[in-house]
Amino acid sequence: MGIGEFAAAAAAFCWACSSVIYGRTRLNAWTINFAKNLFGLGFVALHLVAIWLLGEHGLLSFGATAWMYLAISGIVGIAIGDTFYFRSLQILGPRRSLVVSTSAPIFGAIIGWWLLDEFVPWWSLVGILITITGIAVVVLDKQARKESPGHFPGSEWIGVGCGLVASFCQAAGGAISKMAMDECSALEATFVRLLAAVVIGLIFLPFLQRLKLKLSLIFDKSNLQLLLPAAALGTWLGIWCSQIGFYYTSVAIATMLMSTSPLFAIPLVRFFDGHRISSRAIWGTLIALFGIAMALHFSVSQS
């Protein structure tokens, strides 16, 4: 695995950790998304300031076209996509919402081919499908239904639909951001994407407040104890690692590795919530790992 593949897998781990934490947050999907974007933007800004103090000059000095691509990417992938993901998380629970997100590699392969003219070997596509099959075996079982938080219940079909929309937005946002990353670093791309997501959230805030959303709840002590670590893991480190993954490898391979979050979620859910890990989950994990190995092997051999 190269740096791009390793970073994409690290992003999957960060998102698995943050998903377990977000599942315990008693806020609606839009409020969670706005909070994690706001706090994540603060973490990334501090990171950029630290780099500037170490002598790095010319930060955020790229052209207007790159700013435009990154802003669009942030709106599509983070502001819209993550809101739908959190709604899916609230209905389905961490593991089942993450398995729906494994459709992202399919969207990533199509969008990467269409927008970036990226070549994806057919054996890698077979590996992606095997990976998705393995992850589905892991999480689509009867025991997983007990993991739904139950804070904002809804139809399972709506949960699946929201997850599919989130997957498409994640893949589209990653592909669009890659179009700007010849001019900027992964951290700079993360900052601009989050900034665009926060700005679009503020623009729509007056309309959303009519739905009696209370942003003051974000700064409640009990919510901050969950939102701050989740934002540090999932938004700051997770999105930063994902941008590194998109830069150093293809959109299809990066999104495939990022979709392995359910594999990391299994021990986390077992440890924190006490859910038993079945033999089905173990076999599914082995199938998914085989698919990942196949996709990476053939993509490297064809490059």
* pLDDT of 41 strictly over 70: yes
Q: What is the 3-state secondary structure (H, E, C) of 61-122?
A: CCCHHHHHHHHHHHHHHHHHHHHHHHHHHHHHCHHHHHHHHHHHHHHHHHHHHHHHCCCCCH
Name, in order, each residue with C-beta under 8 angstroms of 257's C-beta and a sequence gap of 6 or more.
Answer: 5, 8, 9, 11, 12, 245, 292
C-alpha distances in Å from residue 84, one per residue of 71, 81, 97 = 19, 5, 10
> For residue 238, what is the enclosing H or E element?
helix 238-248
**Does residue 76 surpass a pLDDT of 90?**
yes
pLDDT of amino acid 179:
84
Cα of first residue to Cα of last residue in the chain, in angstroms, is 14
| Four-residue CA torsion sign, 3, 107, 181, 49 | negative
Q: What is the mean pLDDT of the chain?
A: 80
pLDDT in tens, 205-231: 777 665 555 667 788 888 899 999 999
- Above 90 in pLDDT, residue 136? no
Q: CB-based burial of residue 141 (10 Å sphere; 0-12 exposed, 13-18 middle, 19+ buried)?
A: middle
* Domain regions of the chain by residue span: 3-302
150-196: pLDDT as tens digits: 566 677 788 888 988 998 898 888 888 888 878 888 889 889 999 99
CA–CA distance, 90 with 40 (Å, rounded to integer): 21
Cα 21 from Cα 221, distance rounded (Å): 15
Q: What's the pTM?
A: 0.79
Give the C-alpha separation, 109 to 123, whole Å: 13
pLDDT in tens, 79-119: 999 999 888 888 877 767 777 777 777 777 777 777 767 66
Residue tagged 């990476």 (tokens): 296
pLDDT of residue 29: 82
Write the pLDDT tens digit of every residue in 261-297.
877 877 776 666 665 666 776 777 778 777 766 766 6
